[in-house]
Chain A
Amino acid sequence: MIENILIAGAELWSVGTLLLMALGVVAGLIAGAIPGFTIAMAVVLVLPFTFGMSPVQGLGTMIGVYVGGLSGGLMSGILTGIPGTPSSVATTFDGFPLARGGKAGLALGVGVWASFFGGVIGAIVLVLVAPQLARIGQEFQPWDYFALMAFALTVTASLAGENMVKGLIAGLIGLLVATVGEDSVVGVPRFTFGVDSVQQGFAFLPVLVGLFAFSRLLADVRDSESAKGNLGAKSDASIRINHLVAATEVLKRWGNLVRSSLIGVFTGVLPAAGSSISNILAYDQARKYSKTPEKFGTGHLDGIVAPEAANNATAGGALIVMMALGIPGDIITAVMLGALLIHDVVPSPTFITEQPVIAYAIFIAFFMANFMMLALQSVTLRGFVRVTQVKIYMLASVILFYCALGVFALNNVEFDIWTLFWFGVLGFVMSALGFPIVPVILGVVLGGIAENALAQVIALSDDPTHFVTRPWSLFFIVLGLFSSFFHVYQRQRGRKRWTLVFIPAMCICLSVPVAMMDGIVRPVLAALLVVGGLYLLYQRHREGWVVMTEDQGEAPTIAEGGP
């Protein structure tokens, strides 16, 4: 382990890599600060630059963008009241009133230090948990791995928001796109329709950039008036941050800091639940635990610490899932998985044991990126104010050209620009029709891996009962079934009677595969799950299976409209 850390450290501690990471952090900070410019888009646009780099350098740069982007959102959120990214929505609730009250420096400082501490806590959990989880991954056989892929894809349903079916359709379209071209087992061309250029399949990057960045940019310029506007910061560029005061204020609130960071890590571990959810959850919990909840929304420092610590810690959680199980925790880690594939590194549950140098480099890079973010945030504050003066249509035009240039640089093939174009059209049309884009991307990333796992399953045995007799496979199938309906459960919780038995039923059903596992700890865990499920059922029974009537409704939550 020490040897791997030293090798990974040596690769990261070169001047070139450090410079690239710093550039990544600055790019992320500025991109995160621009309203409407998501972190995922920034990571996608940085991807073409990483082709010429080693996997460690490339991933280090992208982690820099990721961490920078998570922290960048607070700048525009606090200074303009418009969150730069969805991950800093809750920061604006107290950050903006505090800045408007003449304490912009303090608000920014507290946000920056909370982000830093949140990121460091996330990194510590990542280092401690990922290798342990990866050991479990070594127990996986092809049946378990295929079930894991199916589970990851069913989770995409929850990304669809209102309509689960649209999410599943989008995920299946992604899988179908991944089948185009020669199959990996026999090399037979599929769905090429006689076009030679499609023989090798669609390159991942043009598909990703087309679906995500291209379609998004065109949506941004749809309205002529808003396209001619600028990005909106009219703040004073000479704001000064007193770091000592800010760090002290954050550390005084250590309980809130640790709780919010752990909420962030936990949310990151859940596939598809990213920092856009964790910041609101952490804010909500901070308000509930506060002695002065009435001060929230008026410029309370706890209201800045909670969301900022949570959103940076989420990255640690998402990276745990990516490294330990080889499935993306969120859209950004999905892009990183794509980047690994471009560098011929196939993500799998054995990733940490098979690619220890890259794995430890990711751990170290995540730590370092948080320190870099802390150092560079003040510098980029001026850059942010400048960038926000640029007109949206100018930025969109230049980035569209850059997209074309970037995807061409991948293989020096003009067909890739056409791929970008057609997937841009597809992404735009799907968004306009209300289909989510993220499941398509997850489908494209996981399609090939899932097919290979299925091919191994068929090669090993033609007995399909292995899917239900192997504990891990059954575990993921049960989890997948329940997670498919989780969004419906969340919407109807407390309103429909079936929602009262959803969680107890999930606990009891999950206990079956856990009980089938070897050892002592897991059967004990299974027993606890059963006891927990039965206790919840007993509680519901004691409460008389009460559900809210339609007209009772629920008080508006933070997610629906502010504190």
Chain B
Amino acid sequence: MTSGEGEELDRLRQRLSELEDALAAVADGQVDGLVVGAPGRERVVSVSGVDLPYRVMVERLGDGAATLGRDGTILVANPAFARLVGVEAASLRGWPLTGFVPPEGAPAVLELLEVGVGEVRRSEVDLRVADTTNHVLMSTTGIRVGAEVVVCCAVADVTEHRRVVAQLESERRLAAQRDLRMRTALEVNDTIVQGLVTAEMTLDMGQLERARQLLAATSTRARDLIGELTGDVRPGMLRRVGPATIDDEEDAS
């Protein structure tokens, strides 16, 4: 390579670098306008239309937003969307959305992608991030861009909401279980313990016939209580497997 060719190459590299900086500035919303045209016939082209604040808002939104191809290919996504799928926003372009969805969730996502122009579809979807799963509410709508239809996708993280709902449900089940145990204990106390204690005291006081009557009444009430607790008995239900224990239900959360 001659020294002239080397200088030309350096100059082209310099121009390329300047153009890349300018494009990055436009992409980042740092540019209000561009001067275009030949010397003496320059004109200013505005690039800061009313869509700029909207674009900044979407970029800074806490919820995920992305534009997808009809087949689910990610065309552009905001940082919140990238966080939900655990990938850098800049490298998301070209990924298939279904690549972040567990196999069992794929049909729901494919249905969301079939959304028509102007139609809105919503569904809860699981997004896989390494070993964890983010539960999201995904909304899609179709938009025509020229001859193509793209899918606008909004994603709200409902992982914490789901966790709280599951915890409340678990607490409700435990409370119901405690209530049932308490009512059963009360029945056993009223039906069996009171009768036995009274009969024992009656025996101690030397009233044999009355004690006998109390024991007979207690055993009858105890049998009725057992019947209420078991309901209809079927073969195999009453096979003894060991001493009965009552354990709290394990916390589902």
Is B truly associated with A?
no
